[in-house]
Structure 1
Amino acid sequence: MDIFKILDDFQKIDGDAAGRLQYATRRHFMNRVGSKVASVAIPSIFATVVNKAFAQSAAAVDVLNYALTLEYLEDEFYKAGNAAANLIPATDKVIFTTIGKHETAHVAFLVKALGTAAIKKPTFDLTYGGGFADVLTNYKTFVAVSAALEDTGVRAYKGQAGALIADPQILEYALQVHSVEARHAAVARRLFATVNASPATKGWITGKQALVAAVQPIYDGEDNMTQGGVNIKGLASKSDAAVSEAFDEPLTKAAVLAIAGPFIKA
């Protein structure tokens, strides 16, 4: 979820970041190692390069640890859900098993990149301070929290491409990661629509429509009607809802941490 955001923040911290990471793209490694080895080695090799390039940057370490905190949360959430007895129906198990593997890989990437600077895994409260008390016993609640977490991640990606335009290879790598996270969100939202009998919920966000009231901050601002300085309200005679669906708005680091706060005990 956070690799695209990390690269963008690196660019803000160090204007040469993209250039120094140019050789660390997926295409580069695929061209230099056999495909069987590459499928296993790329995350580890890329993380090692990041660690070497930014080991002396306190700001970069801070960004990576922020990302690691969020990845720890998602990894913990899916591990707990997949391990819970009689929670996930057999028909949906493969979905959450796959998403869980992706989040575990993200944690491994960030821990490797940070090395000894990596923060320890926090203690989490997956009930969100009691707001989702039955998250590991009620499948409807579990799916709602999954979709909310994934929607948060997707919004964190948006609006960041500009910083990587000058380095198309890294932009390509980031967008590959982003597309996977967006598919997580789409699947989780469609499952939410099915299990909660909510036909108004689509695979994408409409306006600032929240899945459940407790997570409204995740969706605030998504009803923005001005893009690129142009007010597109009523564009091509479409409804405001339809226009809002065409764009996702970014979430700031502060907003994401505020949203995640109730999940983190210490």
Structure 2
Amino acid sequence: MDIFKIIDEFQKIDGDAAGRLEHASRRFFMNRVSRKLAAAAVPVAFATIVNKAYAQSAKAIDVLNYALTLEYLEDEFYKAGNAAANLIPASDKAIFTQIGKHETAHVAFLVKALGAKAIAKPSFDFTYKGNFGTVFTDYKTFVTVSSALEDTGVRAYKGQAGELIADPQILEYALQVHSVEARHAAVARRLAATVTGNAAMKGWITLNQGAVAPIYAGEQNTTQGGVDIKGLASKSDAAVTEAFDEPLTMEQVLAIAGPFIKA
């Protein structure tokens, strides 16, 4: 979920981080791994490279474990949801089964990268300190929480894309991962719109309409890169905001996800 943040933090502690990972480019894998096996091999090989390059960096280990904690959270959420009796209707079961498989793969990726330094899986409070007491017995609540988690992940990526422009190969790989998370978010939002009866909620974000207020802070912004897009394109506020996402900082992500983690 947080590959952009990981690479950004690597750059802060090692200015040559992109260079260290250059040989992990898509071209490298395509040259050394058959195209048939590339999709499965890339995460494992990339994790091995990260582990070797940064094994002695305490800061890098902290960043990877931060990402792993978030992946543990999503993985456990979908495992519990998919295992709950009579929670997910048959029409939607395949969707959450597939999302769950993706999150399990993300956990495996980070655990491989960290090796013996991977943190143990924490305990989670999926009631969100008592706010979601029916999360695994009420489908409406389950889908709402799923949408919140997925949108949080997508916006965690957003703020880091600019840091990778100088290395387009790494940017390409990271965006491939990000696109999967974005599809999760779009599906979860559409399902949430249906089960909550919120006709204004779609697979994309309009203004700051959403399930959990902190996740959508700033989404109503119509100025991007110092340019008032509304004035430039002569479009409505709704149309302009649908064309752009806003970033979430690490602090914002932790503020949203923190109540799920038991102290």
| TM-score computed with the length of structure 1 as normaliser | 0.94
User: Which residue does 1:19 correspond to in 2?
Assistant: 19
Q: Which amino acid aligns with 2:261?
A: I
Q: How many pairs align?
A: 263
User: Which residue does 1:115 correspond to in 2?
Assistant: 115
Check the 8 A contact 2:201/2:210 in 1, yes or no: no
Equivalences for residues 25-174 of structure 1 within 5 A? 25-174=25-174
User: Which residue does 2:187 correspond to in 1?
Assistant: 187
Task: Report the Cα distance in structure 2 between the residues aligned to 1:10 and 1:248, rounded to whole angstroms.
Answer: 24
User: Which residue does 2:262 correspond to in 1?
Assistant: 265
Residues 13-47 of structure 1, C-alpha deviation per residue, up to 9 Å, x if partnerless?
22211111011134422321234443433222110
Q: In the alignment, which of 211, 215, 218 is matched to residue 215 of structure 2?
A: 218
Residues 210-261 of structure 1, C-alpha deviation per residue, up to 9 Å, x if partnerless?
22xxx21111121222211123345433221221111111100011001111
Residues 162-187 of structure 1, C-alpha deviation per residue, up to 9 Å, x if partnerless?
22112111111001001111010001
Check the 8 A contact 2:189/2:203 in 1, yes or no: yes
Say whether residues 1:230 and 2:227 are aligned partners. Answer: yes
Check the 8 A contact 2:159/2:248 in 1, yes or no: no
Q: Which amino acid aligns with 1:223?
A: Q
Task: Report the Cα distance in structure 2 between the residues aligned to 1:132 and 1:16, rounded to whole angstroms.
Answer: 44
- Give 1:55 shift: 1.1
SS in 2 for 1:205: coil
Check the 8 A contact 1:10/1:17 in 2, yes or no: yes
Say whether residues 1:202 and 2:232 are aligned partners. Answer: no
Moved more, 229-238 or 215-224: 229-238
Task: Report the Cα distance in structure 1 between the residues aligned to 2:36 and 2:228, rounded to whole angstroms.
Answer: 49
Q: Which amino acid aligns with 1:188?
A: A
Task: Report the Cα distance in structure 2 between the residues aligned to 1:35 and 1:236, rounded to whole angstroms.
Answer: 42
Task: Report the Cα distance in structure 2 between the residues aligned to 1:15 and 1:242, rounded to whole angstroms.
Answer: 39
Check the 8 A contact 1:150/1:184 in 2, yes or no: yes
Task: Report the Cα distance in structure 2 between the residues aligned to 1:11 and 1:167, rounded to whole angstroms.
Answer: 12
Check the 8 A contact 2:159/2:249 in 1, yes or no: no
Check the 8 A contact 1:234/1:243 in 2, yes or no: no
**Mind listing any 5+ residue stretches in structure 2 that lack a counterpart?**
none
User: Which residue does 2:5 correspond to in 1?
Assistant: 5
Moved more, 80-89 or 4-13: 4-13
Q: Which amino acid aligns with 2:126?
A: L
Q: Which amino acid aligns with 2:258?
A: G
SS in 1 for 2:127: coil
SS in 1 for 2:209: coil
**Mind listing any 5+ residue stretches in structure 1 that lack a counterpart?**
none
Check the 8 A contact 1:25/1:170 in 2, yes or no: yes
Task: Report the Cα distance in structure 1 between the residues aligned to 2:233 and 2:43, rounded to whole angstroms.
Answer: 44
Q: In the alignment, which of 250, 253, 262 is matched to residue 253 of structure 1?
A: 250
Q: Calculate percent identity across the aligned residue pairs.
A: 79
Task: Report the Cα distance in structure 1 between the residues aligned to 2:154 and 2:207, rounded to whole angstroms.
Answer: 15
Moved more, 122-131 or 20-29: 20-29
